[in-house]
Amino acid sequence: MYEIIVDSFAGGGGASTGIELAIGRSVDIAINHDPAAIAMHRANHPETKHYCESVWDVDPREVVKGRQVALCWFSPDCKHHSRAKGGKPRDNNVRGLAWVGVRWGATVQPRVIMLENVVEFQEWGPLTADGFPDKKQKGRTFNVFVNALKRQGYKVDWNELTASDYGAPTIRKRFFLIARCDGRPIIWPEPTHGDPESIAVKTGKLNPWHTAAEIIDWSIPCPSIFERKKPLVDKTLRRIARGLWKFIINNPKPFIAPVTWKANDHSGEVVAFLAQYHSETANHEVRGQVLDKPIMTLDTSNRYALVTSHLVKMKGDNIGQPVTNPIQTITAGGLHFGEVRAFLVKYYGTGEGQVLTEPLHTIPTKDRFGLVTIHGQDYQIVDIGMRMLEPHELFAAQGFPSNYIIDRDADGKAYPKSAQVARCGNSVPPPFAEHLVRVNLPELCPGSGSAISFERYKQTAPGQLAFSM
């Protein structure tokens, strides 16, 4: 008997894509109240039946039409559970969207229910009169929710998973709840990827995790911060300076950009890191990362910038100089050397700046500011570039296939970058859904006697789908 799959709170299609990668076909039903989200979903999953309305306005019995539901996936709005909401009041109606899962269980009883949310979902409880979580009742509503599913005949379990463990180049961690009523066990997928330095990777048990460097489109230029028509604001410059000090200058193994990219720009090496545009901590903590690890969690705004430093080899006995001396001759690519040196001096440290005739502040261990040593070879920074990451890079970081459509909807209407980024930040990394479905519903996946399936995300000729048995 043919069983259907439903993706509620479908968004731009992250969970649907992961499910499709597992079972080899589109989900049957997708539900979301946002027309823009449904439009992106339609562009990538045209075979799916779409409902653009509130999840509460959709009657499960009318949608199912008597068919058995193998899986119903829920990704209810997480903002009013997340600590990222900060000091703002919560909305009980938004926090309660997960109850729609119990409604589906009570009316059409899917064999398997999967729910994804932030890890704080487990703390779901009543709100105080002023709209904030009641710390004395933390987790009370969550327990009621779990018991409601159990009363409908479901066995329930939950866990926290990290996307980089399953092949996505992001450390995004999420809460997952699985409920099933078919008597089969709930299974949590074993990690497939890990730290390259771990024993599991070195012995071949796991693949090395995918890194932020892999999602960077190195064909895109990274313009100099010194040649902008509108200068960067001081906060951004300080962020860049602190990142340069931590991830490049004071890093024994800075990330070196691919040769194919740097060859089209300056001579010498190009080193890079990611700057993170979240609000700074009180002690001006550096927010950013090197590129040889998975990218940090993405949200609905573009918070990441690629920062590059262009280097030239030190010549002869040239080991740098105090900024109070005349600058030495720079023969290649050194258009900004003096400016870079002054920039680093001014913006590193407390961010208050200093005059260049004084000793460097708060840097007692390295007086050759702007000097980078790579594999024993000394280099000088001669330019600094910066650009924000593009939407297709952010989607790649979430683990979406490279040919996923993000720049237009099903009717060909173009999406602005802000809308693309919003869809990305709200999305479920597809590898989560793929691995959860493979281990819990293997009978639906190709190779288990399933009917013919298509491989939408396998690279083929334009407009064609690959098919497999």
Q: Which residues are catalytic?
A: 78
Residue of 275, 332, 322, 72 lying closest to 179 (CA atoms)? 72
Task: Please give the structure tokens belonging to residue 125.
Answer: 């409880």
Is residue 154 a contact partner of residue 139, using CB atoms and an 8 Å limit? no
Is residue 169 a contact partner of residue 294, using CB atoms and an 8 Å limit? yes
Distance between CA atoms of residues 184 and 343, nearest Å: 62
Distance between CA atoms of residues 26 and 332, nearest Å: 55
Phi, psi of 393 (to 5 degrees): -75, -40
* C-alpha count within 13 angstroms, C-beta hemisphere, residue 289: 16
Residue of 4, 452, 390, 34 lying closest to 13 (CA atoms)? 34
Please report, as a single letter, which amino acid is at residue 244: L
Is residue 218 a contact partner of residue 257, using CB atoms and an 8 Å limit? yes
Q: Is 83 exposed, middle or buried (0-12, 13-18, 19+ CB in 10 A)?
A: exposed
* DSSP codes of every residue in 93-117: HHHGGGHHHHHHHHHT--SEEEEEE
Distance between CA atoms of residues 211 and 290, nearest Å: 9
Is residue 113 a contact partner of residue 178, using CB atoms and an 8 Å limit? yes
Task: Please give the structure tokens belonging to residue 110.
Answer: 């899917």
